[in-house]
Amino acid sequence: MSAKSMDELVSLCKRRGFIFQSSEIYGGLQGMYDFGPLGVELKNNLKSAWWKSMVYERDDVEGLDASILTNQLVLNYSGHEDTFTDPLVDCKSCKSRWRADQIGDTCPNCGSKDLTDPRPFNLMFKTNVGPLEDEGSIAYLRPETAQQIFTNFKNIVDSTSRALPFGIAQIGKAFRNEITPRNFIFRVREFEQMELEFFVEPGEDNLWHDKWIEERSKWWESQGVSKKKIRFLEVPKDELSHYSKRTVDLMYEFPHGEEELEGIANRTDFDLGSHSKNQDQLNIQSKIRKNSDSNSRLAIQNKDTNEWIVPFVIEPSAGVERGVLAILNEAYKVEKLEDGKERIVLALKPHLSPIKAAVIPLKKNNDDLVSLAKNIKDELQSLGKGRVLLENTGNIGKSYRKHDEVGTPMCITIDFDSLENNTVTIRDRDSMDQKTIQIQELTSYFSNFFK
Ligand code: GAP
């Protein structure tokens, strides 16, 4: 069972320190959110899981962390300066602005039908680099992490001696000046993407595309996103991005409706071809503009035939915020207890939980209990499985409720038996079962739990 409404998630996120409206004390900044103490842990855990599965557990992917501010030429040759737009309309009555494709013919604010004709609005944030604000100093905050992967293609091939097929993975911020950011962290102006550009021989692209669609839906399942809530959407030809031959979106049932969680596109040889020098010497298949500025041949040599190939690219591209929203929605449960009361529990997969274990001394003013709890916390923390918290409130029931709500998989209580018999009580978040184990067994119990 997932959350009944977005409001429930928003409320939990604020109450427990997952997500706050950005610049809230000054009235907020629309389309921006800050991740609090638990949100940053959840987000980091999700990104680590992605990196682990993409880079460490495969032998055919390298990592990259490129700059956010991007040379204007990159986003010119990529096509973003010309085509990265949404249709904007103004309401002539109340002066509000809307995305034409989201509102029909009526202003959602005042009900007027007196709207301007739609005009293209470029979503990129423009800035200037250096002390001069002129045409020559224009740069953009990247609207996708992908472009710098393409511009670094030769650097990575030369430094790693990779042959096809192989991929380059990157996680990082992207920025879009969305006309109407909405639905909490679903559509925002500053967000993070987890993107893989996977380079393959032309002709093998369709096969690899299908493989990645399969891989990615399995991965979301391993993060706790139910298979039943994901649908594959074949993006209609007339809605494809300018670079795409085929895109399949993984659509998820968010609390506000079904929308895109991740897109998996076949970008063909468009991007490498567009950013390459000497384009006419390469057998580029997509329709590209002549590049007279690049100093790099973005192709790879077949080691047997010596032929230069511009690879095709399969791109699984996921949003971190949308991932966090889907995972919170899946994990959120309200359970009826035997005594008639209710509890909220966030049944997160343990590897995603912001706090792995809470160590709770029975009495907050008892030095012996608190000092033993602190030693146990330090010991478990040193195992490198994630954050372990010393929860010294002196109220066991309240601590259990709090840790249920934030998804802590286990609470470890230190009581007088711990001092006399070297035992601790472990309480399981999901079953609420409690068991007693010896302190000396705790590290291996804890390590095995988070394996
Ligand atoms: N490089 C390809 C690309 O950027 P996209 O479909 O525009 O494709 C990929 O974006 C993913 O980034 C989306 O599936 C979504 O998860 C996330 N995303 C895009 N725009 C977003 C926004 N305004 N707010 C939050 N996430 C966004």
> Which pLDDT score, from 0 to 100, does residue 2 have?
59
> Which pLDDT score, from 0 to 100, does residue 303 have?
84
Ligand 1 centroid–CA 104 distance in Å is: 23
Mutating to test ligand 1, I would choose from 78, 182, 193 the residue with most ligand atoms within 8 A of its C-beta, which is: 193
First to last CA, the chain: 26
Ligand 1 centroid–CA 207 distance in Å is: 24
Q: Is 110 left (phi over 0), alpha (psi -120 to 50) or beta?
A: alpha
> Which pLDDT score, from 0 to 100, does residue 387 have?
98
Residue with tokens 């604010």: 109
Q: Which amino acid is at 369?
A: L
Q: Which residue has the least CA distance to atom 4 on ligand 1?
A: 144
Question: Crossing angle, helix 320-331 and helix 6-16, to 10 degrees?
Answer: 100
Tell me how far apart the alpha carbons of residues 44 and 331 are, in angstroms, rounded to a whole number.
17
pTM: 0.97
Residue with tokens 């999901």: 430
Ligand 1 centroid–CA 319 distance in Å is: 6
Q: Which residue has the least CA distance to atom 21 on ligand 1?
A: 187
Q: What are phi and psi of 404, to 5 degrees?
A: -60, -45
Cα within 13 Å of Cα(285), Cβ side: 15
Counting from 1 in the atom list of ligand 1, the atom nearest the Cα of 186 is: 25
> Which pLDDT score, from 0 to 100, does residue 3 have?
63
Strands 257-268, 312-319: pairing is antiparallel
Q: Which residue has the least CA distance to atom 25 on ligand 1?
A: 187
Q: Which residue has the least CA distance to atom 19 on ligand 1?
A: 319
Counting from 1 in the atom list of ligand 1, the atom nearest the Cα of 263 is: 14
Q: Can you point out the beta strands (E) in 276-323?
A: 300-301, 308-309, 312-319
Q: What is the pLDDT along the chain (451 residues), one digit of tens a residue?
A: 556 789 999 999 999 999 999 999 999 999 999 999 999 999 999 999 999 999 999 999 999 999 999 999 999 999 999 999 999 999 999 999 999 999 999 999 999 999 999 999 999 999 999 999 999 999 999 999 999 999 999 999 999 999 999 999 999 999 999 999 999 999 999 999 999 999 999 999 999 999 999 999 999 999 999 999 999 999 999 999 999 999 999 999 999 999 999 999 999 999 999 999 999 999 999 999 999 999 999 999 998 899 999 999 999 999 999 999 999 999 999 999 989 999 999 999 999 999 999 999 999 999 999 999 999 999 999 999 999 999 999 999 999 999 999 999 999 999 999 999 999 999 999 999 999 999 999 999 999 999 8
Q: Which protein residues touch ligand 1 with a CB less than 6 Å away?
A: 144, 146, 176, 178, 187-188, 191, 193, 195, 260-263, 315, 317-319, 321-322
Ligand 1 centroid–CA 144 distance in Å is: 8
